[in-house]
Structures are given as C-alpha cells and as structure tokens.
C-alpha cells in the first residue's frame, strides 16, 4: 500500500504547472484531457518531485466552493512538506525563482525549515537535514 496522489486545488492549470516544474523543480508526470463527473472537459495534471512516488494532482477549481478553497486547503496552516537533501541550495534556487517565503530559515530538532506559499497560496515547509 502507498499514497499515490494528493490534490491541490488551483485556479489555472498552466500557471500551476509552470510553478511546480519551474520554481519547485518537480516533474510533469501527466497532462491529459479528462471529463468531470457530469461530462464537462477538464485536465488530469500530475506533478511530483524527481524520484518521488507520490504525486500531486493539480485540480482546477470548479464552482464557488472549490474556488473558495484555493490557497486554503489546510485552513491557513502548513499543509505540505517538501524535504530536500541540500536545504541551502534549494532555498537559494527557489528564492531566485520567485518562491514567496513567509519565514526565514530556522533550525528545529527535526531539521532546517522555512515556510513558503505555493502558486495557490497554500503554506508549505521546506525541510532539510538537521545541523
């Protein structure tokens, strides 16, 4: 058993793809035409970090309820965690790519951490090794 996908609700597929593949360095795994349950066109868009098995389904908001959830999937808390082997390099690369960090890097017992917002406004921890 494994966790295959998690969903992030976004307002625009292409902008989200550019962010995840460009700013975060993820791979675009799939971008296929699909249909909603009631037959309207949509896309099946999956991104994931290089070498990872678990991916992120980028789902465009459909309707008022989903639109209201864009950027608020974890109710303002950090809801996603990106672990890297080289924290300083990742932080510098992401900062140069325009990623919005909302905290400065700090040391915690579980490693180095800095909070950033994704393209939709959701909060993430960038996590690196301790010490």
* Contact of 130 with 83, CB cutoff 8 Å: no
- What does pLDDT average to in each consecutive run of 10 residues of the chain (131 residues)? 96 98 97 91 96 97 95 96 97 97 97 98 97 72
* Closest of 4, 121, 11, 21 to residue 56, by C-alpha: 4
In this predicted structure, what is the pLDDT of residue 120?
A: 96
Alpha-helix residue ranges (DSSP H) falling in the chain: 13-18, 64-69, 87-96
* Closest of 68, 48, 35 to residue 6, by C-alpha: 48
The owner of tokens 């609700």 is 9
In this predicted structure, what is the pLDDT of residue 131?
A: 72
The owner of tokens 């990742």 is 90
């Amino acid at each position: 058993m494994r966790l295959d996908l998690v969903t992030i609700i976004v307002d625009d597929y292409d902008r989200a793809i550019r962010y995840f593949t460009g700013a975060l360095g993820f791979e675009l795994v799939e971008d296929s035409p699909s249909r909603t349950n009631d037959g309207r066109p949509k896309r099946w868009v999956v991104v994931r970090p290089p070498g990872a098995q678990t991916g992120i389904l980028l789902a465009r908001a459909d309707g008022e309820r989903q639109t209201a959830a864009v950027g608020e999937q974890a109710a303002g808390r950090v809801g996603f965690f990106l672990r890297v082997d080289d924290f300083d390099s990742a932080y510098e690369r992401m900062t140069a790519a325009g990623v919005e960090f909302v905290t400065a890097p700090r040391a915690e017992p579980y490693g180095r951490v800095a909070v950033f917002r994704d393209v939709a406004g959701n909060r993430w921890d960038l996590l690196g090794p301790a010490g």
